[in-house]
Structure 1
Amino acid sequence: MSVQSKHLLNTPESLVVESLRGVCATNPEVALDEANKILFQKAVDRSKVALVCGGGSGHEPAHSGFVGKGMLSAAVCGNIFASPSPSQVRNAINLVDNQKGTLIVVKNYTGDVLNFGLAKEQFGALHPEKSNSLEFVIVGDDVAVGREQGKIVGRRGLAGTVLVYKVAGALAQSGASLNEVYEIATWVAGRLATIGVSLGHTHVPGTGTSESDISTSEIEIGMGIHNESGHKRVSPIPKLSELIPQLLDLLTSTTDSDRSFVPFKGRDEVVVLVNNLGGLSELELGGIVAEVRKELDARGYGISRLLSGTYMTSLNMPGFSITLFMLPEKNSTSSPSIDLILSLLDEETDAPGWKCTSKAVVSSLDKYSFHSKTEEHRNPGQNGLPASDPNSFIDSIKKAAQALINAEPEITKMDTIAGDGDCGLTLKAGAEAVLSKAETGELSGSDVAQAMISISQIAEDKMGGTSGALYSIFFSALAQGLHASGDSNHVSSQGWTKALHDARDKLYTYTRARPPSRTLVDPLDAFISTLSKSFDASVKAAADAAENTRDVEAKAGRSAYVEGDRLKNEKIPDPGAWGVKVILENI
């Protein structure tokens, strides 16, 4: 089936910002930080919890269309289908900073989880007094990805995420605490089930013309919002009266242990969201809504609310998704009341992406000039937390960085087999930047927490990708742990041990990799877990764990996509794990 590859635009590179300008042109209540692609409420109520969300562009009206009173405070937009950077997200957090705290909501995609998570941890490291005023919710509502296929990665985040925005945003607007908003967002996220269907793929502006491998006689069930493959293909394309029952079976099944994610009991009260993925006519969507309603009625489900329209798209994908949000039982004492949930869904909002849109008429673009504030950093040693021996501390960092640079050819060779070939160069780039800052004195042993923040920022700026995000999160979290160590003169060995344990635990909130997983987590965890013995013993445990990745099945990371027998035959250790080994052996 041919993919629609023609678009109306000025240039692919300017499309995202120009689209955000368009949102501002139709909604006088929002403003745009163009440099960071952040759409935010002009009049942020600093006395109430703020909601920050975002992700790649191309899913409009998500996420920018849901910025407004009673929904989101700010939306951070990346390039098409690409996560925004941590610095963009940090700027958004600063923009909506308030007295009660901020809830960050992301769809369950690795880039979004890592980059938004890194921004949260960096913000906490830079502003330790506010580190407890941020909460993080990951939404994974896709039932097409079963437990076996998803493994530790989990379900993808789809249109059900919008219902989390609405319920949590309305509760925040009512004046609730951060903990209350976080708990209800988490509760809603755990009761969502979504399945998508498409007649074909979509085309990203600026990329080459392509052909969809979905034939004109096929429909794909379970396709993701970034053109990811679905659960299965059906040919010929079935009638809606045949298709909708199949989809509802996937959504509500409690007998399929691989896909039973929400505890439906039958005849439950539900909120239904029928979402246009971007390329369906309203005529077709109306027919789908009618068939969904008919089938749910026949199955005895109580439909408390039925929402239909364009909420979360995949550009112009010719398909739709169905979301079921299972409401609590009317007499339940362990859940929010059904009346509360429905009242929050019904609460008015001026977010244009929701059905109740702003009625204000804007005759011209309300210009709003905004310049992001540069985050302030302490000078090394100024009210800082020094190492017990500052010179040895910085010499040790230099030695580890140089060793990592020297190991680049070996790590690159490993990664050409076990990954995508760039691990050695990525680690080298980070190490060179660390070494440069250490030699110029910008990285100092006079403030170890600030040094960890600097290394975190280097990993973000110079390394990038998944490994850069993982290193950045770890070192940002380590800085927070050092701040909280309670030491006044210098960091004790006990302070370092506790901070390292805390940093590992925070890293685990953003990645599901656990040893043994054939990732850098294996030696890192081995090192931290054995620190109660001796430093040398811990380094030996880390080195052994890195060596053992030769025989470990890849459960996460790039190696998960490499054919398993090849890794076993080649006996190649994980390149990321080897990098950690090199660092620790030279500290």
Structure 2
Amino acid sequence: MSIQSKHFLNTAESLVVDSLEGLCTLNPQLSLDSQNKVVYLSSRDQSKVALICGGGSGHEPAHAGFVGEGILSAAVCGSVFASPNSSQVRRGIDLVENDKGVVIIVKNYTGDVLNFGLAKEQYAALHPTKADRAKFVIVGDDVAVGKTQGKIVGRRGLAGTVLVYKIAGALAQQGASLDEVYDISQWVASRIGTIGVGLEHCHVPGTASSESHLSPSEIEIGMGIHNEPGNRRVSPVPPLSELIPQLLDHLLSTSDPERSFLPFKGKGNGDKVVLLVNNLGGTSELELGAIVKESVKGLKDAGVEVARVLSGTFMTSLNMPGFSLTLLLLPHSSDVNAPDSAKILSLLDAPANAPGWKWSSGQIPSSVTTTTSSATAPAAGGIQSEGEKLVASEPTAFINAVKTACKALIDEEPEITRMDNIAGDGDCGLTLKAGAIAVLKEIEEGRIAGGDVVGSVISVSRVAEEQMGGTSGALYSIFFSALAQGLQANRSPNTNTVDATLWALSVTSALQKLYTYTRARPPSRTLVDPLDALVSKLSSAGAVDFTAAVSAAADAALNTRDLEAKAGRSAYVEGDRLRTERVPDPGAWGVKTILQALLK
């Protein structure tokens, strides 16, 4: 996959300050020292311990997004992926210092540790009477870095750092002493593990565009938040049900000599955790929800009780398409000199007035309660229509025609998708394919049969409604429901056979009913163009000629490539592009595909 290398900015050089000014505009309780890139609480309680953090930018909302009552007092920001210098950090300490003291929390990266550490020592040298009122906490929670590899530098700091901010900040807000805040910071830092995974690396604004690091079928496990490579690649990309257990194994292991960082006691021994699911920047909320579901399931399967779940964007790697999982192992009852588990959770649940902190339930996640429709699926033989069943004039040919149409739609999906990527939102081909697959299943299970044409048409309508969805599903469902009505209303009292004339009358009435729910009229560059051409030809004087009618519909579908979009998905596409590309309307092409296959 390609790396997203385009960005919204004025200049790459001004981006960090522009972003911090936007943050302070959003949150009036904040002030900004723009020269030093320090965001701090404008007015804070001097009787409470201050917390300061920071590091390179590009990890938003970390770090500045967590400045607020109940979390951090200040954040010092460097350029993208670069530590702030010590003078910036000293300015941050000066802005929040007080008689109660300050705790400095940094991720374990060499630049952050050196510059924040230097600033702390310089502060102590300049203020010898306050030297013991500045405490330093380093967080390294990355379990992808083995003990041998990190023997000297230690583990990298990742999203677990945010849990240290929150718990320590909540305790400080309650008026705890400097030592109490420092001690709980150190304890939490010692009990967190994080593992990241990405579909691709990220792009730093202002740098040259780069080639993809991973093939389209690869993911990388153990990636850092500065484009550092992971410890292994996996191909093909596994489903979440397979990926999540692999990630959790890194976090829960007590047998791997390189990665057994947390003192889990094992299945059945009362391990309890806080789970943090973190978006690394480019993962959709839709995907994140599925990740949460699989992560909680995976932990329960491993015998680990999940006391809290937090999910959202906490610490990013710019726009990296990936996520990380963090576990905070809560104290066991047998742990010596450990804080109370209930206390840890209460601090985590405490309100925080900071834009980067995400909503959480403050409760143990419960088993998901799902509901389904009380209606049962129709029995084999199709939906029962009232009165005498209408029978296809050639039942076997009827079924074969429907199968042929479905298979044609499935085969044509790539081309319809290509058209819709230009002329719409890209889903038309897949929507029609899903409907076709579902109709084939209805045939296989006996709910569509030549012996009950009306029931079969109603089944197709139901499939369009339930399996296709969206605008196309609604239009097809209305049309086929109306077609079933037309077959019953126009039937001859002297026969129960559906002949060409009855089909023609019913298709005509079905289109008229469809017109009551859509404003699209030909020429409109929508699926009504081939439908209207079909009906017009069938309604003309003389014998019913389906061959000519289908030919007219196919011509109408092809001609949509030169029409101005007046309705449907293409109405939102810039007109010059449609004229340049000259692709037919994908919905109209789908109708053409169906009709030509039925005619065969």
TM-score normalised over the length of structure 2: 0.59
Give secondary structure in 2 for the equivalent of 1:98.
coil
The answer for the alignment partner of 2:294 in structure 1 is: 291
CA shift, 1:68, in A, is 0.5
CA shift, 1:151, in A, is 2.0
Give secondary structure in 2 for the equivalent of 1:112.
helix
The answer for the alignment partner of 1:159 in structure 2 is: 159
Determine the C-alpha separation between the residues in 2 that align with 1:333 and 1:225: 34
The answer for the alignment partner of 2:40 in structure 1 is: 40
Determine the C-alpha separation between the residues in 2 that align with 1:57 and 1:303: 31
User: 1:349 touches 1:356 (CA, 8 Å); kept in 2?
Assistant: no
Counting only pairs closer than 5 Å after superposition, residues 259-270 of structure 1 correspond to structure 2 as 259-266=259-266, 267-270=270-273
Determine the C-alpha separation between the residues in 2 that align with 1:256 and 1:335: 25
* In the alignment, structure 1 residue 88 sits paired with structure 2 residue 88: yes
The answer for the alignment partner of 1:120 in structure 2 is: 120
The answer for the alignment partner of 1:137 in structure 2 is: 137
Counting only pairs closer than 5 Å after superposition, residues 24-423 of structure 1 correspond to structure 2 as 24-266=24-266, 267-330=270-333, 332-356=335-359
Q: Which runs of 5+ in 2 are unaligned?
A: 361-600
Render the CA deviation track for 1:435-465: whole Å, top value 9, x for unaligned: xxxxxxxxxxxxxxxxxxxxxxxxxxxxxxx
Determine the C-alpha separation between the residues in 1 that align with 2:239 and 2:335: 39
The letter for the 2-side match of 1:199 is L
Determine the C-alpha separation between the residues in 1 that align with 2:240 and 2:92: 42
Please say which structure displays the higher CA radius of gyration: 2
Give secondary structure in 2 for the equivalent of 1:148.
coil
Determine the C-alpha separation between the residues in 1 that align with 2:333 and 2:323: 30
The letter for the 2-side match of 1:261 is F
Render the CA deviation track for 1:455-497: whole Å, top value 9, x for unaligned: xxxxxxxxxxxxxxxxxxxxxxxxxxxxxxxxxxxxxxxxxxx
Determine the C-alpha separation between the residues in 1 that align with 2:15 and 2:176: 37
CA shift, 1:297, in A, is 1.2
Label 1:147 to 1:333 Cα distance change in 2 as closer, same or farther (>3 A).
Answer: closer
The letter for the 2-side match of 1:298 is D
User: 1:140 touches 1:156 (CA, 8 Å); kept in 2?
Assistant: yes
Determine the C-alpha separation between the residues in 2 that align with 1:238 and 1:30: 43
Determine the C-alpha separation between the residues in 2 that align with 1:59 and 1:330: 36
Render the CA deviation track for 1:208-261: whole Å, top value 9, x for unaligned: 010122111100000000000101000011111111011000101000011111
The letter for the 2-side match of 1:346 is D
User: 1:196 touches 1:221 (CA, 8 Å); kept in 2?
Assistant: yes
Determine the C-alpha separation between the residues in 2 that align with 1:129 and 1:212: 54
Query: Relative contact order (C-alpha < 8 Å, sep 6+): which is higher?
Result: 1
Aligned residues: percent identity? 68
User: 1:198 touches 1:221 (CA, 8 Å); kept in 2?
Assistant: yes
The answer for the alignment partner of 2:19 in structure 1 is: 19
CA shift, 1:355, in A, is 1.7
Determine the C-alpha separation between the residues in 1 that align with 2:85 and 2:15: 18
The letter for the 2-side match of 1:268 is D
Determine the C-alpha separation between the residues in 1 that align with 2:359 and 2:176: 22
Q: Which runs of 5+ in 1 are unaligned?
A: 358-587
Determine the C-alpha separation between the residues in 2 that align with 1:32 and 1:62: 16
Determine the C-alpha separation between the residues in 2 that align with 1:15 and 1:27: 18
Determine the C-alpha separation between the residues in 2 that align with 1:24 and 1:200: 31
Determine the C-alpha separation between the residues in 2 that align with 1:170 and 1:219: 37
User: 1:86 touches 1:119 (CA, 8 Å); kept in 2?
Assistant: yes
Determine the C-alpha separation between the residues in 2 that align with 1:317 and 1:38: 25
CA shift, 1:331, in A, is 6.0
CA shift, 1:334, in A, is 2.1
CA shift, 1:298, in A, is 1.3
Determine the C-alpha separation between the residues in 2 that align with 1:148 and 1:65: 34
The letter for the 2-side match of 1:156 is R
Determine the C-alpha separation between the residues in 2 that align with 1:119 and 1:25: 28
Counting only pairs closer than 5 Å after superposition, residues 532-543 of structure 1 correspond to structure 2 as none
Determine the C-alpha separation between the residues in 1 that align with 2:296 and 2:176: 34
Give secondary structure in 1 for the equivalent of 2:35.
helix
- Deviation larger for 296-305 or 159-168: 296-305
Determine the C-alpha separation between the residues in 2 that align with 1:54 and 1:233: 30
Determine the C-alpha separation between the residues in 2 that align with 1:138 and 1:344: 20
Give secondary structure in 2 for the equivalent of 1:184.
helix
TM-score normalised over the length of structure 1: 0.60
